[in-house]
Amino acid sequence: MQQSSILLLFLALAVIGVIVFTYVYLSSKKVEQSEQGMANPQKKRFWFLLILFVILGIFASVTIPKSPYFLFAKETPAKTIHVASMQFAFFLSEHAIDPENLSGESIELPANELVEFRVTSLDVNHGFAIYDESNRLITQTQAMPGYVNRLRYKFTEPGTYNIFCLEYCGMAHQIMRSSFIVK
């Protein structure tokens, strides 16, 4: 139900995109017309940009608050997991990770409670993507050197979850993975 409405939304956006580009393409050929009223290209451009910004403004104000960064923003996480990424491994720990003395531990998380991952990288950009047992992408964030990205999630299904790097980061990118258990 939700997926089909998202599909419809994107189809509608595609149609709007085609209409806009068709309009721009057709109107860009009429250069020798009268410069009065709406035929004036500057006036046309003004109205085109105004309508475009109004549509974009409405779209952004409706969709941005629904982005995952605001999920569970007002709740306190039951558990915090620190994640250090580097070529080509993830180190997960319940305690802050010392880059000089890297070590990870096996992680067990509670189901139906809020968990926060604090994700960073010690070298290049990596992806931190969590997949469920049927290999469905659940949630993800970037692992960036110099930044700590907070990823909050509530796991509803117990099981083993896999972590894959989602950003090509070097020769052995494909072996960069980890996992944790939700009970």
How far apart are alpha carbons 155 and 113 in whole angstroms?
7
Region of 23 on the Ramachandran plot (φ > 0 left; ψ -120 to 50 alpha; else beta)? alpha
Among the candidate windows 34-42, 62-70, 93-101, 164-172, which touches Cu ion by CB under 5 A?
164-172
165 binds Cu ion (CB under 5 A): yes
The number of C-alpha atoms within 13 Å of 35 and in the hemisphere containing its C-beta is 1
| Contact present, 81 and 151 (Cβ < 8 Å) | no
- Closest distance to Cu ion from the beta carbon of 104 (Å): 15
Q: For Cu ion, give the closer residue by CB, 21 or 168.
A: 168
Among the candidate windows 34-42, 111-119, 122-130, 153-161, which touches Cu ion by CB under 5 A?
122-130
Q: For Cu ion, give the closer residue by CB, 109 or 169.
A: 169
84 binds Cu ion (CB under 5 A): no
126 binds Cu ion (CB under 5 A): yes
Number of residues that bind Cu ion (CB under 5 A): 4
Q: Which SS3 state, helix, strand or coil, does residue 123 take?
A: coil
| Contact present, 138 and 153 (Cβ < 8 Å) | yes
Q: Nearest-CA neighbor of 163 among 111, 94, 89?
A: 89
Q: For Cu ion, give the closer residue by CB, 20 or 124.
A: 124
Q: For Cu ion, give the closer residue by CB, 143 or 182.
A: 143
The residues of the shown chain that bind Cu ion, judged by CB under 5 A, are 126, 165, 169, 176
